[in-house]
Structure 1
Amino acid sequence: MHAQPDQMNLVLFVPADRPERVAKAAAAGADAIIVDLEDAVAPDARESARAGLADALNGVSCAVILRINPAGTKWHQADLATAATLPLNAVMLAKAESAETCADAARATRTPVIALIETARGIAQLDEIAGASARLAFGSIDYAADLGMGHTRQSLLGARSALVLAARLADQPAPLDGVTTAIRDDALIEDDCRHAVELGMGGKLIIHPAQLDAARRGFAPSQDELSWARRVLEAAKGRAAVQMDGAMIDAPVITRAKTLITRAGGTA
């Protein structure tokens, strides 16, 4: 298992207490699966779910992230001990609120930590958390509940932008955006992903395989964007600055064009 956190952009949740779903989730085509020991599992089922993880992950060929319970809960230490025995690509720390808990999780599991930001305290400690983790992810629904706000693009704009900025300052890959709760509304899922891209997010948490195709379209550049990017790179060959369509093309514009080509799966 060699995938790194920056290669896991569309990541699909599967409950840890439903081992029969793990293989199906792994075959769904996501960049990684998140085997969830937290919200998707009833509290009284978490111990048995943990005990069955080794068998559930046996033979899984895709990248695997294990979401563990927050620091300070009665399940956290046992989750860490189990994670250290499993073939994981990363652990996702639920309700990450300090750099110390992220660093502790990385040491205990010997695995990169994705810090799931779900609370006001997590946002308040964002820069420190980013410095102690491998990637940030946004638990937007829990965050909205924690602050008593609506789960809307307007209300969550500040938090999303804060995650993007903190990730960039920490030289992390761009954050993973929160879930879209509508499972089969392809137009909404795709539009949510385009909004995430607009803000600088690099991927998304997925709750059902049916969301994957629409999410992939949302993160892919449009044909107009790709055509523009190719024209920019062609016009800029061997030049520090040049005009195209009456607009100046210089280093930042070229960087954006290269980013679009890379997002489409090409090289620039």
Structure 2
Amino acid sequence: MAYQLTHVEGTTALNMKGISEPPAASSLPGAPKVRSRPSPAEHVSTARTVLFVPGNRRDRFQRALTAGADLVVVDLEDAVPPQDKDAARRAGEVLVRNGTPVAFRINDPTTPRGLGDITALARASGGRPVTLMVPKAENPHLLQAVHDDLPAGSALIALIESAVGVLDVRSLASVPGVARLAFGHLDLSAQLGVDPDEETVLASARFAVLTASVAAGIATPIDGVCVAVRDREKILSDTRRSLRAGFTAKLCIHPDQIEPVHAALAPGPDELEWARRVVDTMSEHDVGVVAGRMVDRPVYLQARAIVARASRADHEHRDALRDDEERN
């Protein structure tokens, strides 16, 4: 069954009365200067930290944008109470018009509220691509309809957080325009009636999300949030579990989670030394032994991914130092 999004009359009117224009990210105090900007799909695919900020809390936008997260998601859905959803959408429209490089978690696209989010953000973009996170993704035809309703070059993050979503995850990952999957383990656990902290319970669901991503040729998925906001050891442990399961990014709910997530995702010195030796001495088509370990194509690709993760961390460190010099 094909889906076509129907726009609800009156949901896209822009009423900015009483809402001042927030500055673009590059003009915020403390923000780094804007260099070359990746496409939405590239931005989503390379992010390690995906930080939510409530769309009705404009007072938190600046901190979110300058906290060091790879991608900021302005939440128009769960974090916003019903009476504030119109204001949150209007604030999102302003961010889009300013070209601020953020994503938006929209409301359920099968509802008038979700349809209004899509229409308003697409119209505010003036034809520039946007990035949307689609909650409770379950139907590939609906995902395709959402993407078709956006400007060319737009990207989707499909949030897998229901039993149906897990069972149909391969078809969801294969939708053109879906740049990455995210795993909403808390909502899924609530639906299934299981403990979200029990690693073995959700292992098969995580594996399904990972294999669907790899099969579709998109970036490895984003794992769900750690509910510990300032417990660094808990965040490190939770992120390392995500990495063991093949997830190379985390959803975050507080800026204090960003640094430990980045630290946990960075390879250790011994692991990095081995990976660099593999990459320096072998090719993708070789078979041999490096440091006592057999290396074939799958192992070589794993080593290359480890080196890429380290390069990302080194690049971020150099950028931070350069930004500090520019501010001083």
Contact kept, 8 Å, 1:33 with 1:64, in 2: the verdict is yes
CA distance in 2, matches of 1:125, 1:106: 18
Find runs of 4+ consecutive structure 1 residues off by over 6 angstroms: none
CA distance in 1, matches of 2:282, 2:93: 52
CA distance in 1, matches of 2:212, 2:107: 23
The amino acid across from 1:39 in the alignment is: D
Q: List runs of 5+ in structure 2 lacking aligned partners.
A: 1-36, 315-328
Note if 1:30 corresponds to 2:69.
yes
**CA 1:57/1:112 → structure 2, altered by over 3 Å: closer, same or farther?**
closer
CA distance in 2, matches of 1:232, 1:40: 45
Note if 1:231 corresponds to 2:277.
yes
Q: How many residues align?
A: 266
CA distance in 2, matches of 1:235, 1:58: 49
1:122-154: CA deviations, max 9, x gaps?
112111111112211011111111111111222
The amino acid across from 1:19 in the alignment is: R
Q: 2:135 aligns with which of 90, 94, 110?
A: 94
- Aligned partner of 1:139 in structure 2 is 184
The equivalences for 1:31-70 within 5 A come to 31-56=70-95, 59=98, 61=100, 63-70=101-108
- Aligned partner of 1:256 in structure 2 is 302
- Aligned partner of 1:17 in structure 2 is 56
Note if 1:189 corresponds to 2:241.
no
- Aligned partner of 1:75 in structure 2 is 113
CA distance in 2, matches of 1:161, 1:238: 25
CA distance in 2, matches of 1:120, 1:102: 17
Contact kept, 8 Å, 1:23 with 1:60, in 2: the verdict is no
Note if 1:244 corresponds to 2:290.
yes
CA distance in 2, matches of 1:78, 1:194: 38
CA distance in 2, matches of 1:160, 1:86: 35
The structural deviation recorded for 1:115 is: 0.5
The amino acid across from 1:127 in the alignment is: R
Contact kept, 8 Å, 2:285 with 2:297, in 1: the verdict is no
The amino acid across from 1:155 in the alignment is: V
Contact kept, 8 Å, 1:123 with 1:159, in 2: the verdict is yes
- TM-score between both structures, scaled by the size of structure 2: 0.76
**CA 1:249/1:124 → structure 2, altered by over 3 Å: closer, same or farther?**
closer
Secondary structure of 1:169's match? helix
**CA 1:245/1:77 → structure 2, altered by over 3 Å: closer, same or farther?**
closer
The structural deviation recorded for 1:27 is: 0.7
Contact kept, 8 Å, 1:20 with 1:56, in 2: the verdict is no
The structural deviation recorded for 1:228 is: 1.2
Secondary structure of 2:79's match? coil
Deviates more, 1:68-77 or 1:137-146: 68-77
Deviates more, 1:4-13 or 1:84-93: 84-93
Contact kept, 8 Å, 2:130 with 2:150, in 1: the verdict is no
Contact kept, 8 Å, 1:9 with 1:203, in 2: the verdict is yes
The amino acid across from 2:181 in the alignment is: L
Q: 1:2 aligns with which of 25, 38, 42?
A: 38
Note if 1:106 corresponds to 2:147.
yes
CA distance in 2, matches of 1:192, 1:178: 10
- Aligned partner of 1:209 in structure 2 is 255
1:12-44: CA deviations, max 9, x gaps?
100000112112201111111000000000012
1:80-123: CA deviations, max 9, x gaps?
11120345641000111110111111111232111001111111
- TM-score between both structures, scaled by the size of structure 1: 0.92
Deviates more, 1:200-209 or 1:3-12: 3-12
Secondary structure of 1:255's match? helix
Q: Percent identity?
A: 35
- Aligned partner of 2:171 in structure 1 is 128
Contact kept, 8 Å, 1:19 with 1:56, in 2: the verdict is no
